[in-house]
A and B are shown apart, each in its own frame.
Chain A
Amino acid sequence: MSDPEGASINNTSSGPVNRLLNSILLLWRDASIRPLIMQAVVVLLVVAMGAWVINNTMNNLETRGISTGFDFLSQEAGFGILQSLVEYDESHSYGRTFTVGILNTLLVSVLGIFFATVLGFLMGVARLSPNWLLARLSSVFIETFRNIPLLLQIFFWYFAVLAALPHPRQSYALGDALFLNLRGFFFPKPVMEQGLSAVFISCLVAVGLALFLRYKHRKQRVETGKGISGAPYLMAALIVGIPAITWWLSGATMTFDMPELKGFNFRGGLSIIPELGALLLALTIYTAAFIAEVVRAGIESVQKGQKEAAASLGLKPGKTLSLVVIPQAMKVIVPPLTNQYLNLAKNSSLATAIGYPDLVNVFAGTTLNQTGQAVEVIAMTMAVYLTISLSVSLLMNIYNKRVALIER
């Protein structure tokens, strides 16, 4: 910043104060030092503001008699949680409710990302379909669902799902094993018994062998133009055959814990609660609408010549799409797709509105209320989401690098 005043001081100065000012001005004008001064000032300001906030908070917490620290994590929680992937009951600690919440959030995020990707790709491809009606319908789907707030959609699906399902006593049932009703979808739970670990290990071995075969097959196809004949059948045989033989040899037994109507509800077995179903439905449809647009943009970014070249080589439209267009579109698709995945993970926090026990509902909801330690609880919750976001970004960046390298 030029300063004509400074110049006049420079000329007429004689006193020690002026000399000091003068040297400061010189420092200020020095292009290598000025940024340093500015940064130091900024750091000071940020630190001062942080200190001010912390000081206020400490004061407030103290004057209001609110307890601080992380001791509460080891105290008994004393409330129940509807769905837990790890063992949990009222006698577990608040720390455990944190874990339960994180796992439930991860569960719905991972499932949501999977389904949204599948539906999104289908819709994106359908929108560019030569079939007029299909293209129209998918465009109506996209424009409808991405322009309505997710929260509204969650409420809508939740109450629509609840309205459509029957009371437990009138469940839709498939034999004595599968039941669908207001309280969820119930299915048998496999119970591991002796010898089953061998079967499990043989499964892993079989998959490993199959992958190796696939690698060999591809390599041979690239080198000679012809793969190992019947490779897909061989792979299937490996994956099914090895575990089956091991099972038969080891004589392992597996039983199922069947769901059964007892009193008010089904007990035993595994279940998917309606909150999870509705949340998943809403997250999937909402995010799929965005992913479809991302996919469309990606496909449109591939030059027309590529498609024509593939067609002239005799590839069918389906093969053209999967072998030529999508692989090239991926490098355009991946960065915005990552954003959609992150959004989905963050949006899963809306679960709290319909009572799905995710992190925000269980930990930033009930635990916060019972302990009253807002600062610690909210900070921990935010840290979890931040970690999830940063790690998904990291993974997708790595994947993106791989996709981008294929470019020739």
Chain B
Amino acid sequence: MIEQELKMIPAREPPKMAVGTIAWLRGNLFTGPLGTAAILLIIYGLILTVPPLVQWLFLDATWFGASSEACDREGACWAFITARLDQFIYGFYPSEEYWRPNLFFAQLAVLVGWLSIKSTPWKKWVLGYSLVIMPVVSWFLLYGDIFGLAKVDTHQWGGLMLTLLLALCGMIASLPFGVLLALGRRSDMPVIRSLCTAYIELWRGVPLITVLFMASVMLPLFMPVEVSFDKLLRAMIGIIMFQSAYMAEVVRGGLQAIPKGQFEAFDSLGLSYWQGMIMIVLPQAMRLVIPGVVNTFIALFKDTSLVLVIGLFDLLAIIQAGLNDPKWLGNSIEGYLFAGFVFWIFCFGMSKYSQRLEQQLHQGH
């Protein structure tokens, strides 16, 4: 008996039309006559718009100069941005003190990097520092009037620095209130539950712009005559009250995701409500809500641009103020594009980060 060697027949080449560039094109671009027509139309549109745009944005642009006169009108006038960049970043902060905001930015960058990179040690301590000590340190660093630092009043703050400060402060300060409100909304005590629910729904139901109006016009009326608030502080109070409600809803989402068994477990261990919450439930819940927190932070970051309606010079407002300079007339498009670009960089980066976290969370379960 001849032992026939059993051999696999080698796989046949797939048909030419099913692999390679052509197949990819057929499968992903030119799907049927209608798809092909649509694609051709889109490509035509892109050809029409993209090259002139690139030409205007980069090739023909003027990058440096002392006034609008330096720009020929063929391309974008980025000279407006470069000449006033300091002001857009630091507001009216005195230029000899720029190292202080720079230090603040550097600190922020280090903390954010530390917390978002996976393998760094002492995460807990760094997080604690960012949430509790960092705001205080930053405050004294920027305001001064201590340790021989010159005092820089809040009305000199502005630009990107102010935008970041408002968003960060609103975020960090609303975190504890948000947690308390979320716990309150899930509490067994009807009075507390309804009070917290009412608070949350009230602030979520009104636009931030009216909250800011309220903070700037009505808050002084609510306080005794002798107490007066800085305008920046009033805006911050408004933002914190508003943001707490949104934060509460995010945290509530996290609390709801914690299985009931966890609550029963700490109860049966004899832990009190607060002990159980702080040691068992919240640590688990907070991990779940990080993506949500980042998302509300993005929303808040964008919303801080509204402070211009109450006369604070955030990034957008200071660019608008710059547009009024007789030396720099006619640069609105460049100004708005720049503001949009800066906001976009921050928000896009953060949203990618939160998406990554979300995916990690989903893998974990």
B210:A39 contact, CB within 8 angstroms: no
Residues of B within 8 A of A273 (CB): none
Residues of A within 8 A of B31 (CB): 130-131
Residue B122 at the A interface, CB < 8 A?
no
Residue A149 at the B interface, CB < 8 A?
yes
Using A130-B27, A148-B344 as known contacts, say yes or no to A63 and B225 having CB atoms under 8 A apart: yes
Using A42-B195, A56-B221 as known contacts, say yes or no to A378 and B210 having CB atoms under 8 A apart: yes
Chain B contact patch, size range: 35 or more
19 contacting pairs across A/B (C-beta < 8 A): A38-B189, A42-B191, A60-B220, A63-B225, A131-B31, A131-B39, A134-B38, A137-B42, A143-B351, A151-B308, A152-B340, A155-B336, A364-B210, A364-B213, A374-B218, A382-B210, A389-B204, A389-B205, A390-B205
A350:B209 contact, CB within 8 angstroms: yes
Residue A10 at the B interface, CB < 8 A?
no
Q: How far is the CB of B355 from chain A (nearest CB, A)?
A: 10
**B131-172 contact mask (Cβ, 8 Å, vs A): 1 or 0:** 000000000000000000000000000000000000000000
What's the tally of chain A residues with a CB closer than 8 Å to chain B? 53
Q: Which of B292-320 contact A (CB under 8 A)?
A: 298, 302-303, 305-306, 308-309, 316
B225:A346 contact, CB within 8 angstroms: no
Task: Compute how far the CA of A43 lies from the CA of B305 in the bound complex, rounded to whole angstroms.
Answer: 36
Residues of B within 8 A of A368 (CB): 217
Task: Compute how far the CA of A155 lies from the CA of B319 in the bound complex, rounded to whole angstroms.
Answer: 12
Q: How far is the CB of A208 from chain B (nearest CB, A)?
A: 36
Q: Which residue of A lies closest to B227 (CB)?
A: A56
Residue A353 at the B interface, CB < 8 A?
yes
Using A46-B195, A389-B204 as known contacts, say yes or no to A382 and B214 having CB atoms under 8 A apart: yes
B223:A56 contact, CB within 8 angstroms: yes
A57:B204 contact, CB within 8 angstroms: no
Residue A53 at the B interface, CB < 8 A?
yes
Residues of B within 8 A of A360 (CB): 207, 209-210, 213
Q: Nearest 3 A-B pairs (CB), nearest first? A: A147-B347, A132-B28, A389-B205
Residues of A within 8 A of B43 (CB): 133
A133:B29 contact, CB within 8 angstroms: yes
Q: Which of A22-60 contact B (CB under 8 A)?
A: 35, 38-39, 42-43, 46, 53, 56-57, 59-60
Task: Compute how far the CA of A150 lies from the CA of B305 in the bound complex, rounded to whole angstroms.
Answer: 9
A133:B39 contact, CB within 8 angstroms: yes
Interface secondary structure of A, over-half rule: helix
Residue A88 at the B interface, CB < 8 A?
no
Question: Chain A residues in contact with chain B, CB under 8 A?
Answer: 1-2, 35, 38-39, 42-43, 46, 53, 56-57, 59-61, 63, 130-134, 137, 143-144, 146-153, 155-156, 159, 342, 346-347, 349-350, 352-353, 360, 364, 368, 374-375, 378, 381-382, 385-386, 389-390
Determine which residue in A35, A63, A131, A347 has the highest number of CB atoms from chain B within 10 A of its CB, and name it.
A131
**B74-92 contact mask (Cβ, 8 Å, vs A): 1 or 0:** 0000000000000000000
Task: Compute how far the CA of A38 lies from the CA of B333 in the bound complex, rounded to whole angstroms.
Answer: 57
Task: Compute how far the CA of A349 lies from the CA of B309 in the bound complex, rounded to whole angstroms.
Answer: 11
B28:A152 contact, CB within 8 angstroms: no
A349:B225 contact, CB within 8 angstroms: no
Residues of B within 8 A of A63 (CB): 225
Q: How far is the CB of B328 from chain A (nearest CB, A)?
A: 16
Task: Compute how far the CA of A39 lies from the CA of B189 in the bound complex, rounded to whole angstroms.
Answer: 7
Q: Which residue of A lies closest to B25 (CB)?
A: A132
5 more CB-based (< 8 A) A-B contacts, given A43-B191, A56-B223, A59-B224: A147-B348, A151-B306, A156-B336, A364-B213, A378-B218
Task: Compute how far the CA of A382 lies from the CA of B306 in the bound complex, rounded to whole angstroms.
Answer: 17
A59:B225 contact, CB within 8 angstroms: yes
Task: Compute how far the CA of A360 lies from the CA of B213 in the bound complex, rounded to whole angstroms.
Answer: 10
Q: Which of B1-45 contact A (CB under 8 A)?
A: 27-29, 31, 35, 38-39, 42-43
B305:A385 contact, CB within 8 angstroms: no
B225:A60 contact, CB within 8 angstroms: yes
A386:B191 contact, CB within 8 angstroms: no
Task: Compute how far the CA of A364 lies from the CA of B92 in the bound complex, rounded to whole angstroms.
Answer: 30
A386:B205 contact, CB within 8 angstroms: yes
B306:A350 contact, CB within 8 angstroms: yes
Residue B332 at the A interface, CB < 8 A?
yes
Q: How far is the CB of A108 from chain B (nearest CB, A)?
A: 13
Task: Compute how far the CA of A327 lies from the CA of B223 in the bound complex, rounded to whole angstroms.
Answer: 53
Q: Which residue of B lies closest to A34 (CB)?
A: B189
Interface residue from A2, A60, A153, A385 paired with B207 (Cβ < 8 Å): A385
Residues of B within 8 A of A152 (CB): 305, 316, 336, 339-340, 343
B272:A1 contact, CB within 8 angstroms: yes
A148:B207 contact, CB within 8 angstroms: no
**B204-247 contact mask (Cβ, 8 Å, vs A): 1 or 0:** 11111110011001101111110000000000000000000000
B42:A60 contact, CB within 8 angstroms: no
Q: How far is the CB of B283 from chain A (nearest CB, A)?
A: 21
Q: How far is the CB of B269 from chain A (nearest CB, A)?
A: 14
Using A149-B303, A349-B210, A374-B217 as known contacts, say yes or no to A42 and B205 having CB atoms under 8 A apart: no
Task: Compute how far the CA of A132 lies from the CA of B25 in the bound complex, rounded to whole angstroms.
Answer: 9
Residue B264 at the A interface, CB < 8 A?
no
Q: How far is the CB of B324 from chain A (nearest CB, A)?
A: 14
A147:B343 contact, CB within 8 angstroms: yes
Residues of B within 8 A of A134 (CB): 38-39, 42
B38:A131 contact, CB within 8 angstroms: yes
Residue B277 at the A interface, CB < 8 A?
no
Q: How far is the CB of B190 from chain A (nearest CB, A)?
A: 8
Task: Compute how far the CA of A137 lies from the CA of B205 in the bound complex, rounded to whole angstroms.
Answer: 34
